[in-house]
Amino acid sequence: MKQVAELAGVHVSTVSRALNPATESMVVPEAVARVVKAAKTLGYRLDPVAASLRTGRSKLVGILVPDIATNVFTPILAGATERLSTQGYSVIVAYVGSDAKAQLDLAGGLIARRVDGLILATVVRDDPLAAFCIAEGLPTVLVNRAEKDVRLSAVVSDDMLGMQLAVDHLVELGHRKIGHLAGPSQHSTGFLRRRGFTQATASHGLPAAQTPFEIAETYTREAGADTTRRLLHAHPEITAIVAANDLLALGAYDVLREEGLECPRDISIVGHNDMPLVDMVQPPLTTIRISHKEMGRQAADLLQQAIETLDSPARNVVLPAKLIVRNSTAPPRKSILKRFTAPARSQQIASKARS
């Protein structure tokens, strides 16, 4: 570093600040340019291991996600890593699934590697990994999902508002018999969106008998299809479906095609999340948009605050949801369709003929 300072014609402390993204703004741009040029000429790079021994911080952060292939988490990761990199942090992204022991083992390994903090997109409503991080004194922030009790800072969307917007839209179109594909109840998103759906339909005076729900085991297209079959076989009279996320809604699309039904002519469908490409399906999906990238940015900001101020109080940041209307919703048809009641009606006709 002394050699870089001599070549750039600056003090050693200026080299330290100029090569640190978190303090670079403290140095005039011309001096930063000279320092960077000198460092490149000499082949000099900061040694993060040596720096961590001196400062007690590794400038390394872990982000744990339940499914790295899902488009929901991609913008969250992008927002978080972009914001953290501007503050000089490097990021380890890990896919951990839903196995609690595997999550705890991975978190222990990251702590052993001296990560400064974690962002968790994996939590359930009463999460053992969150409890472990608290016990270890590791700065931790939750994103997209939260616990039922506020123990750690979290950045989530307004799940209740999202359901209200979806139901309001369908009621305005004339729907009165609306079903719900609920997410897993152990996740805050599934629990709160189901509660939001129930409250929203009640606010319009719709009785529970006309607004049934079925709970999906996972947020997958396959689970959406299974849940839709159960919902429509039990309640063939519904004219619209509100899904707890877009993958569940796409599963509903599959079932309608299987049964020779059309969306929205026979049943309107509303998703949740506005995942990439749902405007490209047929018909383009009406859904609730969540600012996932902003969610990641704010989670990164909260984590940095937690790292720098260890006794900072937990904060719950709730981002607004927005209704995006596309072609999967329309006013209900006047006529009653045969749909899933066809076998039952055939039996009734046969019974009358025998009598």
SS3 letters across the chain: CHHHHHHHCCCHHHHHHHCCCCCHHHCCHHHHHHHHHHHHHHCCCCCHHHHHHHHCCCCEEEEEECCCCCCCHHHHHHHHHHHHHHCCCEEEEEECCCCHHHHHHHHHHHHHCCCCEEEECCCCCCCHHHHHHHHHCCCEEEECCCCCCCCCEEEEECHHHHHHHHHHHHHHHCCCCEEEEECCCCCHHHHHHHHHHHHHHHHCCCCHHHCCEEECCCCCHHHHHHHHHHHHHHCCCCCEEEECCHHHHHHHHHHHHHCCCCCCCCCEEECCECCCCCCCCCCCCEEEECCHHHHHHHHHHHHHHHHHCCCCCCCEEEECCEEECCCCCCCCCCCCCCHHHHHHHHHHHHHHHHC
Question: Do the two domains 55-156+292-319 and 159-290+324-340 of this chain adopt the same fold?
Answer: yes
The domain locations on the chain are 2-46, 55-156+292-319, 159-290+324-340
What span, in angstroms and rounded, lies between the C-alpha atoms of 249 and 166?
13
Residue pair 337/181 in contact by the 8 Å Cβ criterion? no
Sheet with 213-215: strands ordered across: 213-215, 178-182, 240-243, 268-270
The candidate with the shortest Cα–Cα distance to 136, out of 156, 164, 108, 169, is 108
Q: Which two tokens stand for residue 232?
A: 């429509």
Q: Do 116 and 60 form a contact (C-beta atoms < 8 A)? A: yes
Which pLDDT tens digits describe the chain residue by residue (355 residues)?
Answer: 889 999 999 998 898 888 877 788 888 999 999 999 998 898 887 665 555 555 557 899 999 998 766 678 999 999 999 999 998 899 999 988 888 898 999 999 999 989 999 999 999 999 999 999 999 999 999 999 999 999 999 999 999 999 999 999 999 999 999 999 999 999 999 999 999 999 999 999 999 999 999 999 999 999 999 999 999 999 999 999 999 999 999 999 999 999 999 999 999 999 999 998 999 999 999 999 999 999 999 999 999 999 998 778 899 999 999 999 999 999 998 754 445 544 443 343 344 334 4
Measured from the Cβ of residue 188, the count of other Cβ atoms closer than 10 Å reads: 22
Pairing of strands 240-243, 178-182: parallel
Choose which CATH entry (1.10.10.60, 3.40.50.1970, 3.40.50.2300, 2.40.10.10) describes domain 55-156+292-319. Answer: 3.40.50.2300
Mention the CATH class of domain 159-290+324-340.
Answer: alpha beta
